[in-house]
């Protein structure tokens, strides 16, 4: 009896000791492993966002504007998981296990719709400008924590510019990489080194496989530049003004800038320090339309946005929405891109014949594709699949008809065939569309209420 009591007492004290050790240790451990975040901008959209089933990628973005404003917009629309301000403070926007809409039309290694399988981090700053050392330090800690949480390896920490792709437009006949330059400098080996990333993708798997064409070779040169054994001076690109500049830019200004950069950096492979001087020549993309530089070259997919303003040589201006004659845009027109990165989301994939160009301009080589769909404005309640039509019939579609390129269709939705079984987590993505044949309406997934999914509708989602 006494012995038992003793054992009992012994285990009680052992338990007490273990507990107190836990109580004592736990907070310290937590502090050491979790990155402090600020919750004042946590998005109200969290309530409507489903949990991700898989997390395969971390996608890095630059806000293309200051943190002020960006935070409010990102929070209001739930467009990323974290935002890192210039001082290194990390704001949480969408809870890390839920879906944020940050990648838009995206593809990596054949997988599309990366929002459903990735974490998005916005960094206050510009794609062509170095971020602050405080931002590097915070981003490094955050990436390390997320990598450990989700088991993501270094080669799956990508920039938005690596994964964004564009459907055909009036300048690109095919699906293409180069729709965004977002976050591009974070792909450079020396910058990844600062982020504690030891390896990086050395080529674009989708371009290599022929799924996409490379529409921005200057970008791909930066994204897939290789780590060098001999230390090379870092590139110092001048920030290109994204919003309007107060100084007038002469259309004749040459755009080649020569930078002489001298820098001392430890030579990682040899373990010695070397100083390298290397002249670097950059062709800075100017914001003036001229020979070989179209509105698309300057504004990319924001070329026809209401936030993009064209300043014509005669002094008049038009927004991207108002421009009709793209081909006869006068040389010397200055392009002012407004709104920044925040204005990209949700991506517009639904195109309208007439407003967004001719059907050939909208679809390019995909005009008769199995994954291109048409919604004739003169035949409400019907949709046409490109592969089942003739070119003549498609070219005759009236203005006001809608087009989706790169889509799959499922349905009609019913109790036995719920939308979740058709397209899974993509059911409420902004670039998923519900076509109601009875009403002839097209609605974005972002406007669909879970309790009110239209029976009989067809759902169009990105491949």
User: For Zn ion, which is the closer residue by CB, 182 or 425?
Assistant: 182
Which residues in the 316-335 window bind Zn ion by CB under 5 A? none
Q: State the minimum distance, in angstroms, from the CB of residue 12 to Zn ion.
A: 57
Per-residue mark of binding to Zn ion, 175-214 (x: CB under 5 A): -------x--------------------------------
Contact region for Zn ion (CB under 5 A) — 31-39, 54-62, 380-388, 413-421?
Answer: 54-62
- Out of 160, 176, 311, 426, name the contact with Zn ion by CB under 5 A: 160
Intra-chain end-to-end CA distance of the chain, in Å: 72
User: For Zn ion, which is the closer residue by CB, 182 or 195?
Assistant: 182
Dist CA 132 CA 185 (whole Å): 13
Q: Are 302 and 344 in contact (CB under 8 A)?
A: yes
Q: State the minimum distance, in angstroms, from the CB of residue 129 to Zn ion.
A: 15
User: For Zn ion, which is the closer residue by CB, 114 or 146?
Assistant: 114
Using a 10 angstrom Cβ sphere, with 0-12 exposed, 13-18 middle and 19 or more buried, the burial of residue 74 is: buried
User: For Zn ion, which is the closer residue by CB, 180 or 426?
Assistant: 180
Per-residue mark of binding to Zn ion, 334-353 (x: CB under 5 A): --------------------
Contact region for Zn ion (CB under 5 A) — 7-15, 88-96, 159-167, 218-226?
Answer: 159-167
Per-residue mark of binding to Zn ion, 6-25 (x: CB under 5 A): --------------------
User: For Zn ion, which is the closer residue by CB, 125 or 357?
Assistant: 125
Q: State the minimum distance, in angstroms, from the CB of residue 301 to Zn ion.
A: 11
User: For Zn ion, which is the closer residue by CB, 96 or 160?
Assistant: 160
- The token duo for 440 is 């002839």
User: For Zn ion, which is the closer residue by CB, 61 or 200?
Assistant: 61
Contact region for Zn ion (CB under 5 A) — 59-67, 263-271, 275-283, 448-456?
Answer: 59-67
User: For Zn ion, which is the closer residue by CB, 300 or 426?
Assistant: 300
User: For Zn ion, which is the closer residue by CB, 159 or 371?
Assistant: 159
Contact region for Zn ion (CB under 5 A) — 56-64, 234-242, 369-377, 388-396?
Answer: 56-64
User: For Zn ion, which is the closer residue by CB, 102 or 334?
Assistant: 102
- Out of 52, 61, 81, 300, name the contact with Zn ion by CB under 5 A: 61
Q: State the minimum distance, in angstroms, from the CB of residue 259 to Zn ion.
A: 26
Q: State the minimum distance, in angstroms, from the CB of residue 61 to Zn ion.
A: 3
Which residues in the 239-268 window bind Zn ion by CB under 5 A? none
Q: State the minimum distance, in angstroms, from the CB of residue 260 to Zn ion.
A: 32
Q: State the minimum distance, in angstroms, from the CB of residue 118 to Zn ion.
A: 12
User: For Zn ion, which is the closer residue by CB, 122 or 356?
Assistant: 122
Among 320, 288, 394, which Cα is nearest to 170's? 320
Dist CA 204 CA 107 (whole Å): 10
Q: State the minimum distance, in angstroms, from the CB of residue 62 to Zn ion.
A: 7
Among 196, 258, 260, 192, which Cα is nearest to 228's? 192
Q: Are 150 and 204 in contact (CB under 8 A)?
A: no
Does residue 124 belong to the site contacting Zn ion (CB under 5 A)? no
CA–chain centroid gap for 444, Å, is 19
Q: Count residues near Zn ion (CB under 5 A).
A: 3
Q: Please report, as ranges, the residues that interact with Zn ion according to CB under 5 A.
A: 61, 160, 182
């Amino acid at each position: 009896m006494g012995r038992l009591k003793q054992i009992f007492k012994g285990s009680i004290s052992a338990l007490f000791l273990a507990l107190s050790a836990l109580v004592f240790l736990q907070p310290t451990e937590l502090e050491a492993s979790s990155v402090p975040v600020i919750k004042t901008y946590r998005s109200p959209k969290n309530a409507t966002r489903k949990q991700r089933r898989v997390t395969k990628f971390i996608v890095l973005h630059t806000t293309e504007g200051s943190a002020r404003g960006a935070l409010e917009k990102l929070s209001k629309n739930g467009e990323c998981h974290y935002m890192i301000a210039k001082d290194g403070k990390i704001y949480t926007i969408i809870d890390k296990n839920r879906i944020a809409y940050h990648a838009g039309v995206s593809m990596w290694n054949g997988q599309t719709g990366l929002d459903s399988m990735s974490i998005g981090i916005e960094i206050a700053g510009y794609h062509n400008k170095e971020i602050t050392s405080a931002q590097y330090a915070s981003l490094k800690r955050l990436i390390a924590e997320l990598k450990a949480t989700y088991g993501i390896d270094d080669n799956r920490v990508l920039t938005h510019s690596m994964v964004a792709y564009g459907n055909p437009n009036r300048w690109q006949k095919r699906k293409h990489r180069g729709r965004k330059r977002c976050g591009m400098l974070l792909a450079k080996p020396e910058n990844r080194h600062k982020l504690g990333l030891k390896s990086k993708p050395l080529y674009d798997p989708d371009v290599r496989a022929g799924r996409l064409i490379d529409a921005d070779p200057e970008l791909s040169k930066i994204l897939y530049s290789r780590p060098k054994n001999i230390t090379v001076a870092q590139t110092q690109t001048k920030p290109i003004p994204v919003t309007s500049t107060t100084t007038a830019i002469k259309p004749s200004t040459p755009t080649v800038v020569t930078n002489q950069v001298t820098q001392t950096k430890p030579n990682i492979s040899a373990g010695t320090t070397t100083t390298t001087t290397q002249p670097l020549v950059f062709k800075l993309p100017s914001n003036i339309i001229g020979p070989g530089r179209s509105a698309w070259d300057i504004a990319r997919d924001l070329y026809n946005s209401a936030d993009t303003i064209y300043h014509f040589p005669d002094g008049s201006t038009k927004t991207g929405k108002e421009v009709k004659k793209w081909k006869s845009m006068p040389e010397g027109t200055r392009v002012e891109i407004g709104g920044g990165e925040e204005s990209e989301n949700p991506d517009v994939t639904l195109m309208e014949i007439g407003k967004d160009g001719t059907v050939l301009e909208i679809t390019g080589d995909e005009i008769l594709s199995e994954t291109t769909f048409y919604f004739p404005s003169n035949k409400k309640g019907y949709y046409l699949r490109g592969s089942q039509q003739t070119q003549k019939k498609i070219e005759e579609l009236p203005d006001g008809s809608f087009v989706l390129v790169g889509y799959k269709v499922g349905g009609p939705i019913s109790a036995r065939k719920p939308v979740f079984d058709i397209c899974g987590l993509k059911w409420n993505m902004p670039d998923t569309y519900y076509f109601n044949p009875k009403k002839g309406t097209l609605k974005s997934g972002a406007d669909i209420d879970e309790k009110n999914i239209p029976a009989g509708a067809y759902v169009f989602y990105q491949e």
